[in-house]
């Protein structure tokens, strides 16, 4: 039923899209119809596939690095009061900075290649991962902790055998959010400076008034993001304690 609902919503959105184009009589360079975009996508499928591959590599590396860095930071915050005092305000401050302001600096420091886009993706997903996992670690059921202290279990054993397993559903939620945000970070990095990727292709198509190609690249990015979210959701289903 979930897949049927998604299919019905997609068909409904395409019908509205086509209706707007037909009723308003908009030219192709303003708003191309679904059929025009589909034809352009098929004609440019190898070009789009090449740029999609570049963006996918950036996103996957950024997702892996951001998740690992977020998990390590959350463990440090949960284990040390000094780390919470010193590091947690810095994490909040980083979220107050606009992402677009950091992208040119990352491009300047790391160049126009892969790593500036990976760093951009890491910056976007780092806080959701850290925050969600840290909240889970700090909200361990008190009964578990009281029983462990009564049995004189060491702090390290409490962390690895009680607090981390109890926080895994929170980590899973953070990873699902990260799967949605990571492509945004990679594309922002490609907009600032790149010669490959779906973000670069969208800018190139827009500059040449090829709105149909821009829509084709944008929809490809949307489909990739949905598939990535579904893959992460399935991968974290057991972690979240859900039945699929």
The pLDDT assigned to 47 comes to 95
- What CATH class does 32-235 carry? mainly alpha
Output the pLDDT for position 241: 61
Domain ranges in the chain are: 1-28, 32-235
Q: Would you state the pLDDT for residue 244?
A: 37
- pLDDT value at position 4? 79
Provide the pLDDT for residue 68: 95
* DSSP notation for the chain: -HHHHHHHHHHHHHHHHHHHHHHHT--TTT---HHHHHHHHHHTHHHHHHHHHHHHHHHHHHHHHHHHHHHHHHHHHHH-HHHHHHHHHHHHHHHHS-HHHHHHHHHHHH-SSHHHHHHHHHHHHHHHHHHHHHHHHHT--HHHHHHHHHTT--HHHHIIIIIHHHHHHHHHHHHHHHHHHHHHHHHHHHHHS-SSSHHHHHHHHHHTT-HHHHHHHHHHHHHHHHHHHHHHHHHTTTTTT---
Average pLDDT for runs of 10 along the chain of length 244:
76 87 84 91 95 96 95 90 83 77 84 89 92 91 81 81 90 93 92 89 90 94 93 83 45
């Amino acid at each position: 039923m979930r897949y049927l609902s998604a299919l019905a919503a997609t068909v409904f959105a395409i019908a509205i899209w086509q209706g707007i184009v037909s009723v308003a009589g908009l030219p192709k360079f303003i708003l191309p119809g679904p059929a025009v975009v589909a034809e352009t996508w098929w004609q440019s499928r190898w070009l789009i596939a090449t740029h999609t591959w570049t963006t996918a590599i950036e996103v996957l590396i950024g997702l892996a690095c951001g998740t690992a860095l977020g998990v390590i930071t959350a463990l440090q915050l949960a284990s040390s009061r000094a780390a919470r005092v010193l590091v947690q305000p810095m994490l909040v401050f980083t979220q107050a900075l606009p992402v677009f302001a950091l992208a040119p600096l990352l491009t300047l420091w790391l160049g126009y290649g892969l790593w500036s886009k990976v760093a951009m993706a890491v910056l976007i997903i780092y806080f959701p991962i850290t925050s969600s996992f840290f909240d889970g670690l700090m909200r361990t059921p008190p009964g578990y902790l009281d029983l462990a202290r009564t049995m004189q279990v060491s702090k390290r054993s409490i962390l690895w055998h009680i607090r981390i397993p109890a926080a895994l559903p929170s980590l899973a939620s953070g990873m699902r959010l990260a799967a949605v945000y990571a492509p945004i970070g990679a594309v922002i990095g490609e907009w600032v400076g790149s010669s490959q990727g779906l973000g670069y292709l969208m800018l190139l198509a827009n500059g040449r008034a090829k709105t149909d190609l821009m829509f084709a690249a944008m929809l490809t990015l949307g489909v990739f993001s949905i598939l990535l979210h579904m893959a992460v959701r399935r991968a974290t289903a057991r972690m979240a304690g859900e039945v699929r």
